Amino acid sequence: MTISESAAALYTQADGLREAFLRAGYTTDGVLRLLGDHAHEALGRGEPVPARRICADGGELGVLVRLFLLGDTCSESEVAAALRPVSVDDALRHGIVARDDRGLHAAIDLRPLDFGAGNRWLFSDLDGTLRRHSITEDHVLGVGHASLSLLRATITAPVGRLLDVGTGCGVQAVHAADFAGHVTATDITDRSLAMTRAGMAINGIDESRYSLLKGAWFGPVGGQKFDQIVANPPFVVGPPKVTHTYRDSGLDLDGASELMCRTAPKFLSEGGTATMLASWVITGDDWRERIAEWIPDEGVDAWVVQRDVADPALYVGAWLRDAGHDPRDPASAEMADRWLSHLDEAGVRGIGFGFVFLRRTDEPTDLLAEELSHTFEDPLGAEAADYLRRVAWLRNHDVGEEQLSVADGVALEQVSTLAEEGGWEGVVTRIHRPDGPRWSHEIDQLGQSLLAGLNPDGLCLDEVTELLAVATGDERIDTAAVRDMVGGLIRHGIVLPARWDQSSRKTSVHSQ
């Protein structure tokens, strides 16, 4: 059986593997119980010795952890006992394990994960410290920081039909099966689709609930419309060539992200949403100008979040190391030089990375692009759903004529410094939201008084503004400016319409 044939048939071993894993306790909770907190944390840091010592007396679970998580070579008898009812011959034939002169070692990455709705297993190619060979062009990347961040950013309200563009190992597709009636996953390589099919099978997801289609971008789905799209496309910024399909699109610079932003709305049903990872080159003073060119002028509510900006040299070095290249090697150094020269010729000063959230509407486009480079813990998916909901409310209501209130938990933060003549001198005052992305807005004394006067059972915004003008004797208060300020606070969930349901801010349907 060839490598491609073994990958295609991998799903046939899923039932047996699931039986073996459940018997041994090879689940996220089971592995944590075996290793304990300290060894588990050490393993996460890439320090395998504490875990290896514990696994020596860990029975079948210890063997599975050594085999698939530590990359150890185990004896054939140990593997046979741990994998039963899957035989060693079948495990070898289907590319699950491989033989060396000391015994058997893992030939693929097969590990338990918990997305927030219980244990799942996923298949991918060996990577990182477990890599025993160079990465091939059709390498199937495992679950990393980017894919986990997309999981946390995905809106998980129940939907009918969901499309996962560029599924890779199927992590987004398996996750989506928890809240979507039917999942369509696409990829350009047979190996990725085979890994995804095996992941669906081992997690007991019925074949009637998903479709796997081969092809680039949106080509495989024709004219179909979807209620939701998720995508972790090959968005690496570089020359227009493909060396590894999991990262390279063949499009120049940030062409992959541009294609997704321009095209995704066409495949959304009315009210449908898209959550996508994206990157963009920064050539001028305002990165938002480039993103704005990609968003259609009509029919989209768009929220673009820049989470990080990388220096070109750091960016290129990180991706070369990701592909297994030693930056000290002359051939790798030459690759880096060509890559950096291409970026330099295009005037690239930095590479931005983040999320693009879209919703299909029949209205003029509403676009907000902003930076969220600070640390926050709450999943972004629930916030994205609420943000789009608040944008829809703003479109359909005259904010000046509405009763409003400050959201639960919002606090006023005052920063002062010690003045030379003694006492404290105020520097800045902010209104601060303690949950979600933890937004804060600078606010003056007039704004503070205005927000204090908002009441869900009281006056509307324009009436509060008028009353404030009378109380302060300041007839120059700009009603339009007040409306704009409050509209921005509503977008960020700091001010909300009267009797607004705030429960979804705290939890999502499947909180990660």
What's the longest Cα–Cα distance across the chain?
Answer: 89
Q: Is residue 235 located within the same domain as residue 277?
A: yes
Lowest mean pLDDT among 198-212, 247-261, 317-331, 365-379: 317-331
Whole-prediction pTM value?
A: 0.90
CATH of the domain at 408: 3.90.930.50
pLDDT by residue (tens digit) across 473-511? Answer: 776 788 899 999 999 999 999 999 998 887 655 544 343
Residue 174 shares a structural domain with residue 57 = no
Same domain membership, residue 285 and residue 191: yes
Asked if 345 and 408 sit in the same domain, the reply is no
Beta bridge partners of 303: 357, 368
CA-based nearest residue to 169, from 130, 202, 195 = 195
Domain check: are 349 and 404 in the same one? no
Contact assessment for residue 307 and residue 146, using Cβ atoms and an 8 Å cutoff: no
* H or E segment to which residue 97 belongs: strand 97-100
**Distance separating alpha carbons of residues 488 and 404, to the nearest angstrom:** 13
DSSP string, 342-367: HHHHTT--EEEEEEEEEEEEEEE-EE
> What is the tens place of the pLDDT at every residue in 238-288?
887 777 666 667 788 899 999 999 999 999 999 999 999 999 999 988 999
Give me the phi and psi of 345, to 5 degrees please: -65, -30
Domain count, the chain: 3
What domain range includes position 429? Answer: 399-506
Q: Do residues 427 and 452 both lie within one domain?
A: yes
Distance from chain centroid for Cα 354: 9
Supply 229's token pair.
């799209």
Closest CA to 297 of 235, 363, 206: 363
Higher pLDDT, 183 or 321: 183
In SS3 terms, 425-482 reads as EEEEEEEECCCCCCCEEECCHHHHHHHHCCCCCCCCHHHHHHHHHHHHCCCCCCHHHH
Do residues 380 and 481 share a domain? Answer: no
